[in-house]
Amino acid sequence: MMQKKVWTSFAEAVADIHDGATLMVGGFGLVGIPENLIAALAERGVKNLTVISNNCGVDDWGLGILLRNRQISRIVASYVGENKEFERQALSGEVEVQLLPQGTLAEKIRAGGAGIPAFYTPAGIGTPLEEGREQRVFGGKAYLLEESLTADFSLIRSAIADRAGNLAYNRTARNFNPLMAAAGRVTIAETESLLDDGYLDPEHVHTPGIYVQGLIIGKQQKRIEKLTVSHPEGGHSL
């Protein structure tokens, strides 16, 4: 198998990401985000980015750092989340936001990675989302046309990788990461560990190496987005 490029610094890994680029960024909340690649982008200072991600991190971590630095001009997401700065910029018009149903967002990315230009979905019918949109009826039910999504770069996070670029994700980090890995023209994978002397068992591969252009090892801080604890009497506290 052909080995992939392995970067030794995060600055080097994001060096080709330019002003005005479209990025897909994996993760859900703070789970499975390529936090070190995001931090390197913040340090590099690229501007006018279009970001496609489930949400935009929190105020002081993940994509929230790029948002705070005014490096993002447009966001395609399904959830504002716990990010007050995201909410403020969206309401003030400082950043352009396209909010989509979460399943629609996932399918737009999956279709883009599969080379499917568009598809029909019932999500959004009967809501303001249908205004000005092409509709068709199948089996007596109305559907909206949705165009697929691709990106210049996909930044993703895996638990394990091998030097052929095959990836495996840890539990719920297997959310948007596999979809986005296939939909980026250039996919950069930040991984917790890299196998130097062999390949992942094919039965354990979630993303085949053909989708990955480069790798870098990076440890995570594993921050918690919202802490929930249990009272001795029962119930929960946030």
Predicted TM-score (pTM) of this structure: 0.90
Give the other-Cβ count within 10 Å of 22's Cβ.
Answer: 18
Q: Tokens for 102, please give them.
A: 């979460």
Query: Does the structure show a pLDDT above 60 at 238?
Result: no
Q: Are 11 and 219 in contact (CB under 8 A)?
A: no
pLDDT level of residue 79 (50, 70, 90 thresholds): confident
CA 234 – CA 218 distance, rounded (Å): 38
2 vs 166, which has greater pLDDT? 166
Query: Does the structure show a pLDDT above 90 at 39?
Result: yes
Q: Is the dihedral of CA 63, 66, 69, 75 positive or negative?
A: negative
Number of H helices, E strands in the chain: 6, 14
Give the other-Cβ count within 10 Å of 186's Cβ.
Answer: 15
Across the range 58-68, mean pLDDT stands at 90
Q: Give the pLDDT score at 223.
A: 61
User: Distances from the Cα of 59 to the Cαs of 42, 66, 82, 146, in angstroms?
Assistant: 14, 10, 8, 31
